[in-house]
């Protein structure tokens, strides 16, 4: 029996080791910085992305993957399997899902391709993709892996505090007056993923409130499967939160890393937050 192949996009923010060990194919999303558009992870690595942010005047934006990249990936994998599961960044944040569907149509009747909207991004998407790839490697059937993915998607939760309010203002999530006042007073909005959309939930001013709010968010879940603590240049808050989490959840795996460029295009380069996967 040919093995099921798993496809995702660079928004999953998987490490090279995870991609290789789990045999996951990654199609690059695109990022626009200034006047140029780059393919995430190939034409523009993470370090280069954050360095470029310091030299451009306009805010970066996330764009769908190139159709031909999907077509090439699906056709290459169709030489090895006739079953592909393709799991992608929330369709409410990036239109890559529709590009994947167009590409999949070119193999209709030849290869079975199911496309999933993860309704999340970054490590949240990565959690879903990893679980699917691990199940495929263990010999689960196509229908079994599909059911697993559908079950995991509602069990992923993301919560971030945003320091640079201009990103939320650009996308219409906060008003100009809220942006100006929040910047002056040092107010940090809390955003969460709700049904695939980034929603501003509340705001805090003090560092201790930020840490306690994120810790409280995690503490709401009774059956934690794994946690990801993500930041870019907010090491102090992340370290304090990590210490609390390790003490409170010694048996729960905690992944720590910088978040990827796609998420940064929505929350800016100085946010800190968590992704939680609950047992379902």
Looking at every residue in the chain, the average pLDDT score rounds to: 93
Residues 6+ apart with CB under 8 A from 110: 78, 82
Nearest Cα to Cα of residue 78 among 118, 129, 25, 117? 25
Rounded Cα gap, residues 87 and 67, in angstroms? 16
The string of DSSP letters for 174-236 reads S-HHHHHHHHHHT-EEEEEEETTEEEEEEEE-SHHHHHHHHHHHHHT-SSEEEEEEEESS-HH
User: Beta strand 61-63 with 36-39: parallel, antiparallel or unpaired?
Assistant: unpaired
As a whole number of Å, the CA-based R_g of the chain is 19
Whether the predicted pLDDT of 1 surpasses 70? no
How far, in Å, CA of 7 to CA of 29, rounded? 13
Q: What is the pLDDT of residue 216?
A: 93
Q: What is the pLDDT of residues 200-234, one digit of tens each?
A: 998 887 766 888 999 999 999 989 999 999 998 76
Q: Which residue has the higher pLDDT, 145 or 56?
A: 145
**Residue 17: per-residue pLDDT:** 96
SS3 160: strand
What band does 2 get if pLDDT is binned at 50, 70 and 90?
Answer: confident
Query: How much is the average pLDDT of 37-41?
Result: 94
* Residue partners of 49: CB distance under 8 A and separation at least 6: 31, 33, 38, 40, 60, 261, 264
Q: What is the rounded distance in angstroms from the CA atom of residue 228 to the CA atom of residue 248?
A: 15
pLDDT confidence of residue 207: 67
pTM of the model: 0.94
**3-class secondary structure, 131:** helix
- On whether the 5-154 domain is CATH 3.40.50.10170, my answer is yes
The strand pair at 224-231 and 272-278 is best described as antiparallel
- Separation between Cα atoms, residue 160 and residue 151, nearest integer Å: 23
Domain extent listing, the chain: 5-154, 156-278
230-247 pLDDT, tens digit per residue, is 998 767 888 899 999 999
Residue 186: the pLDDT is: 82
For 63, list phi and psi in degrees, rounded to 5.
Answer: -135, 160
What's the full length of the chain, in residues? 280
pLDDT (average), residues 1-16: 91
Per-residue model confidence (pLDDT) at position 204: 82
For residue 136, count other CB atoms closer than 10 A to its CB: 24
- For 156-278, the fitting CATH number among 3.30.465.10, 2.170.120.12, 3.40.50.2300, 3.30.1180.10 is 3.30.1180.10
- Per-residue confidence (pLDDT) for residue 45, from 0 to 100: 87
% residues pLDDT > 90 (the chain): 75
For residues 252 and 227, is the Cβ–Cβ distance under 8 A? yes
């Amino acid at each position: 029996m040919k093995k099921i192949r798993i496809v995702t996009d660079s928004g999953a923010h998987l490490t090279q080791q995870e991609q290789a060990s789990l045999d996951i194919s990654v199609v690059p999303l695109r990022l626009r910085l200034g006047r140029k558009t780059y393919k995430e992870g190939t034409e523009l690595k993470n370090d280069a992305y954050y360095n470029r942010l310091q030299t451009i005047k306009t805010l970066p934006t996330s764009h769908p993957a190139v159709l031909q990249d999907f077509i090439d990936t699906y056709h290459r994998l169709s030489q090895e399997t006739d079953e592909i599961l393709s799991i992608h960044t929330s369709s409410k944040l990036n239109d890559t899902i529709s590009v994947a569907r167009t590409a999949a149509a070119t193999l209709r009747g030849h290869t079975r391709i199911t496309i999933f909207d993860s309704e999340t991004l970054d490590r949240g998407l990565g959690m879903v993709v990893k679980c699917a790839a691990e199940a495929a490697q263990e010999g689960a059937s196509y229908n079994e892996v599909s059911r697993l993915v559908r079950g995991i998607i509602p069990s992923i939760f993301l919560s971030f505090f945003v320091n640079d309010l201009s990103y939320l203002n650009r996308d219409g999530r906060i008003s100009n007056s809220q942006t100006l006042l929040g910047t002056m007073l040092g107010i940090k909005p809390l955003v969460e993923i709700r049904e695939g959309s980034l929603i501003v939930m509340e705001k805090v001013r003090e560092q201790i409130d930020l840490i306690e709010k994120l810790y409280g968010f995690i503490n709401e879940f009774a059956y934690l499967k794994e946690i990801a603590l993500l930041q870019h240049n907010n090491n102090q808050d992340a370290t304090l939160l990590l210490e609390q989490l390790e003490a409170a959840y010694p048996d729960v795996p905690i992944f720590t890393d910088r978040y990827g460029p796609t998420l940064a295009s929505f929350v800016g380069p100085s946010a800190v937050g968590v992704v939680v996967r609950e047992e379902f």
